[in-house]
Every structure is written in C-alpha cells, then in structure tokens.
Amino acid sequence: SMVRHYNFSVVMKNVTKLCGTKSIVTINGKFPGPTLYAREDDNMVVRVVNHVQYNVTLHWHGVRQLRTCWADGPAYITQCPIQPGQNYVYNFTITGQRGTLLWHAHITWLRATLHGAIVILPKRGTPYPFPKPDKEKIIVLGEWWKADTEAVLNQAIQTGLPPNVSDAHTMNGHPGPVPNCSSQGYTLHVESGKTYLLRIINAAVNDELFFQMAEHNLTVVEVDASYTKPINTDSIFIGPGQTTNALLTAHKSSGKYLIAISPFMDAPVGLDNSTSTGTLVYSGTTLSSPTVSMAIPPLNATPVEFSFIDSLRSLNSKEYPANVPLTIDHSLFFTISVGVNPCSTCVNGTRLVAALNNVSFVMPNISILEAHYHNIGGVYTDDFPGYPPIPFNYTGTGPSNIQTMNGTRVYRLPFNSTVQIVLQGTSIIAPENHPTHLHGFNFFAVGKGLGNFDPVKDPFKFNLVDPVERNTIGVPTGGWTAIRFWADNPGVWFLHCHLEVHTTWGLKMAFIVENGKGPNESLLPPPGDFPKC
Ligand code: C2O
C-alpha cells in the first residue's frame, strides 16, 4: 500500500454549456472534477484549499472511513465547513473495498458542480473476478442548470416551493447534442473486438437515470464498489450516489451507436424529463455514417427499473463472501414522507418538508461528531424518532397523518451490533422512489416489496444468502426496502435521501455508533487542522 497525495483547490471557473456561460465552483478548474485513483489499502491525503466565497465540505461517497469519521465530510454532521480562505486535509485509508465510488461536496447544493470519480483498484496481484477488460472508461452522469444552483436552492428555501428543475443531463459534462450550441454530446471511442470496463457514476442532484446503448448489451459486474454476479442487461438503472461497473464488448465491426441517459420517476412531475445522448463510435467509422438508435424507457418505466434492481446479487464467492447479519439486535422501521408545514414567509403560507418517521431533521450549528466526541450538550438528542411511530396507511393517498415535527435526533448503536432498517415509502404528496444513502457502511438489501411492510410475513421472503451489497438503495413508491448492516464503525453516520431536494427538506437522520472495547475499535482523535465553526 502507498500514500497518495492530492491537491484540491476550490476555485470558480467560467463554463459554457447550452449556449450560456456561467461561473461555477470547481476543483482545480475541472468539471466534472479530478478522478481520485487508489488501490485497496492505500492512504489518501487530499488537501483542500477553499478559494471561493462559499463554505465547502467534501464527502467520499461509499468510502467506509473506518475510525476516521472526521474525514467523512457531511457539513454539520461530521465537520464544520471549510470556510473561505481556509483549508483542511482529508486523510483516510481505503479498507476492504475496490471498485468505483464518487466524491462530492456535502453542503448546500454545491455537489451540482463539485463531484468526481473515485477509482479503487484491487490490491496489486489480485485480479478482477471477471475477464480483464482491454480498457477502462469513466462516465460521470450529472445535471446542468443554466442558472446558478445556489440561487435555485435559495429560491426554493425562501418560497417553500419545489426548486426549478435542471436544464439538461450530462455525460462527463456534455449535455447534448444541442443544436446551434456547438455541443456534439459525449463520444465514447471503441475499437472493434475489444472489451471495456465502464465505470458509470450518477452524480446528478435530483434525478434517477436509465443508461443504455443501441445494439450493445452491458454486463454489470459491480455496484457501489461491491462485486456482483454478472448481469447481462440492455438498460442500467442508476440513482444519484450510485455507481455501476459494466463490461462492454465492442462486438460490431464499425459504426456509430446512440448512448442515452433518460430520467426515471413513477409519477413524472417536477423533474428534468429531458433525454441526453452521446455516441459510441468505432474506430475507422466515417464521420458521415448514420447513428443507430434504440427505444428509450419512458419516464415512468417502473418495470424496467424493478427488473434491473431485482436482478442484482452479491458475487458471494469464496474470496468475496456476503457476510449478511443473520440475527438482528436493532430492528428499525422508518417511514419516508414528504409533507407541508406552515411557513408565514412562504408563497403559499406553507413550505415543503420531508421526514423520516415524521421527523424533519434540523441541522445543528456545530457538528454532531464534535458534540459526541467532546460531550457537548444541547446539540442533538439521541431519542430518534422520539415517540412510537405513528401508524397510518403508508401507501394510501390520504387523508393520513403526515404531520411533521422538527428535531435534531439521532439513534445510538453499540459497537458491532447488527441493524435492520425497513424503509417504508409512502405515496402522499410525492409518490417517488427515494435513493437512500447510509454513510460509513455497506449494507445488504435483503428484501423489497410493494404495499405496506408486513413484519410477520415479509421477513420470510428475505434473501440472506447473496443480497446485493451497496451504500445507496431505492425505496420504491408505495413500497418498502429492507437493509441490514454491522455497526462496526464508530462515529456519527448520516442517512439521507440522495435526491438533494429531499435532503434540503429534512429527509435525513444520523446514527451514533459507540466505540468498542478492543484495541482498534474506537474513533481516532480529530486531526489538528479540523475546521471550526
Ligand atoms: Cu453522497 Cu451524504 O452523500
């Protein structure tokens, strides 16, 4: 293993897209941002210097951060922001993981432009558990607004209304193609007969996406930096925060083939519904040859989404066993809902809120991690949700109890306890799939169903053998998802919907995992340059 040093300067940069130029927040002037390369077991030292007028934090999405919660990054959960003119070194080791992840800003909506890939290669001498590709390509999917994204966010907060949707989806920064804007869209160059490992990352702010290519199926081999059984598919579904590695065989002799990203939503309202396309181009193909196209899943293609998600399984080989917790110490049930609360200064006298178990999370003024570590009172309460869950017909359309209260409430877990969370989606106000992300852990997605979770019957249907292991999972509209994990990482760990608009509205909470008693079971002390509020 080695130490890898990266210098990340946060700087403004003028970027032109969709016939317009705007100044965006970037790392080192790049959009998407620079790729972090590592091998399993490497020590990453990322020095961040903030040269912009915004407070900034960075998060290494999916990196376990064993004992280094100080480097995790969500603002006011594990750290105070890096203020203008200040710097902070994120120092962490990649342990027991290999594959593709992403890094992104974790404050306000800065992740719209502050994001990039993390590529973790297996240990030297350890092969991939699939045929070695000839080449690897990173494809970062994103969303582009013509307006300034911080202004879009602030307007939504002030009015209490949904934010303006983005103007285009992007592949490696390319919307497209856009007539008269000299944008050709993204091009993927391939050579006939070769195989490619595509590292696909959804770094979009609010949209779940389908990714597909004309006349080229893909073989998924890994999601969220966990190997899967190989799955052959014509359409990949990927939510914000999720990553998918897939093998592409360039089986044609020549030609041009469409690549498309299109959004998914059960009830298609309030999202950017535009498809963006790029082109897969074989070497030797003449410029004028036509592009072969394909059918694109409609916005509400729930069957396409379900069949992809349900097909995923952990590799569960001798080298990469699925260590699923078989007994559960903490069995939790979280409802996910979107509602309205009174707001005297808002446009309609109400504002949109989102909640877990009817609690809309309020950000504290210092980080929960510091309050926990230094025993500072008055920052949070460890009584999440704070009352017995309010039962209602979760998957009905109302009238229902969607009354939401505010609180900075956490749930405390003893070291190495086993946890099951049933995430129950609801259909009230915003019937949609919620890509839910847990920091600090991978979890096993042991079950999923439509309707209300049945605690007596449904657990018998759980897959406890080879469930897919991930860090972000969709909770279906009017349905539920069950996850299990080992609380073997001391610290404060955020759980939230990775649709940033829902995080803004309060769809988030945190776990505190206590120190263990063993020699390597406690949180390390904070670094000397840890930012202050
Ligand atoms: Cu990818 Cu809490 O974030």
Contacts of 27 by beta carbon, 8 Å cutoff, 6+ apart: 8, 9, 10, 11, 33, 34, 114, 116
Residues with Cβ within 8 Å of 407's Cβ and at least 6 positions away in sequence, in order, are 359, 360, 361, 362, 381, 384, 386
Sign of the alpha-carbon dihedral angle for 493, 497, 501, 507? negative
For ligand 1, say whether the CB of 104 is within 6 Å of any of its atoms: yes
Residues 6+ away with beta carbon under 8 Å from 390: 357, 358, 401, 403
Q: Ligand 1 centre from 448 Cα, in Å?
A: 22
**What is the mean pLDDT of the segment spanning 167-174?**
96
Q: Does 494 contact ligand 1 (Cβ within 6 A)?
A: yes
Instruction: Kindly state if the Cβ of 241 falls inside 6 Å of ligand 1.
Output: yes
> Which atom belonging to ligand 1 lies closest to the Cα atom of 111?
1
Distance 190 CA to ligand 1 centre (A): 33
Task: Tell me the pLDDT tens digit for each residue of 97-141.
Answer: 999 999 999 999 999 999 999 999 999 999 999 999 999 999 999
- How confident is the model over 340-374, as pLDDT tens digits? 888 999 999 999 999 999 899 999 999 999 999 99
Q: Could you report the per-residue pLDDT of 365-418, keeping only the tens digit for each? A: 999 999 999 999 999 999 998 776 666 667 666 545 556 889 999 999 999 999
1-126 and 130-314 have identical folds: yes
Rounded to two decimals, the ipTM of the complex is 0.99
- The rounded distance, in Å, linking the Cα atoms of 351 and 174 is 34
Residue 467's nearest CA partner among 487, 485, 447 is 447
Q: Ligand 1 centroid to 302 CA: how many Å?
A: 24
Going by C-alpha positions, the residue among 98, 136, 137, 102 that lies closest to residue 116 is: 102
| Average pLDDT for 458-479 | 96
Structure token digits, residue 527:
């670094």
> Does residue 74 line the site of ligand 1, with CB under 6 A?
yes
Residue range 505-511: average pLDDT?
A: 97
Return the bridge partners of 341, or none: 351
Give the CATH class of 330-513: mainly beta
Q: Are strands 195-202 and 135-144 parallel, antiparallel or unpaired?
A: parallel
Question: Are 364 and 379 within 8 A, CB to CB?
Answer: yes
Q: How far apart are CA 270 and CA 502, in angstroms?
A: 13
SS3 at position 499: coil
CATH code, residues 1-126: 2.60.40.420
Sequence ranges of the domains in the chain: 1-126, 130-314, 330-513
Report field, pTM of the whole predicted structure over 0.95: yes
Cβ-contact 23, 69 below 8 angstroms? no
Residue 399 has what pLDDT?
A: 47
Ligand 1 neighbour 115 (Cβ under 6 A): no
CB 355 within 8 A of CB 392: no
Distance 247 CA to ligand 1 centre (A): 26
Lowest mean pLDDT among 57-71, 227-241, 338-352: 338-352
Residues 335 and 504: their CA atoms lie apart, in Å, by 17
Q: Which fold has domain 130-314?
A: Immunoglobulin-like (2.60.40)
